[in-house]
Amino acid sequence: MSRIKLLLTWGTLFIVSGCTLSNYYVLSTASQPTVSYAHTNHVIGVEKVTVPKYLFKREIAVAKSSSQVTFLSGSQWAEDMDTGLTHRLIAFLQKKFKQPSVYAYPWGTDTQPDIKIKVQVTRFIAQGDSVYLDASWEVKNMRTEQRSLKLFNTIVPTKADASSIVDAMNRAFGQLEEDVARGVKKL
């Protein structure tokens, strides 16, 4: 009799756990640049990308209105968004400038970087049939103190399902990466 109870318990746990499984998503895979820039010979430092607090939760946030945020059940981020987006930006810049000398803060090198990048994401969320990304970025030459600052925003169409939202967020962040790279190139 105890074997039957044990099997029933395991079967119930298996069924219940199967109903609560989530789909996990990441945005940390760097996009492939369509055009590369010449090697700059500069060491580039990237501060941790800052994100809104609703991106610190593991569930994928969706705006119901300008003041109401809900979370998609069964769909979660597999990483911390601030860390994942920082690593993605670093990998993209390495590809874009064909150089490995792009580091996260703290720099982890004996010398300070020649160029410092700071990105602050203020809005990164799906609402209705679009994903909205609003951010500001700063690129600073640490030797000359010259800097470039810019506000960035983009709207990318999406469907309501988690996979479409993540795909649209991926494309939106790819546009931000290209914009930051242009800022580095100009400096």
Q: Which pLDDT score, from 0 to 100, does residue 61 have?
A: 93
By DSSP bridging, strand 44-46 and strand 115-127 are parallel
Q: Which two tokens stand for residue 32?
A: 């492939």
Mean pLDDT of the chain: 87
By DSSP bridging, strand 130-141 and strand 147-157 are antiparallel
Whole-prediction pTM: 0.86
Q: Which pLDDT score, from 0 to 100, does residue 7 have?
A: 44
Q: Which pLDDT score, from 0 to 100, does residue 3 have?
A: 53
Task: With beta carbons less than 8 A apart as the criterion, state whether 140 and 147 touch.
Answer: yes
- Among 127, 48, 44, which residue's Cα sits nearest to residue 93? 44
Looking up tokens 């941790």 gives 48
Q: Which pLDDT score, from 0 to 100, does residue 38 have?
A: 81
Task: With beta carbons less than 8 A apart as the criterion, state whether 111 and 43 touch.
Answer: yes
- Name residues whose C-beta falls within 8 Å of residue 161's C-beta, 6 or more positions apart in sequence: none
Separation CA 48–CA 187 (nearest Å): 20
Average confidence (pLDDT) per 10 residues, the chain, 187 residues = 50 46 87 83 92 91 92 92 95 92 78 90 96 97 93 97 96 96 91
Q: Which two tokens stand for residue 182?
A: 């242009």
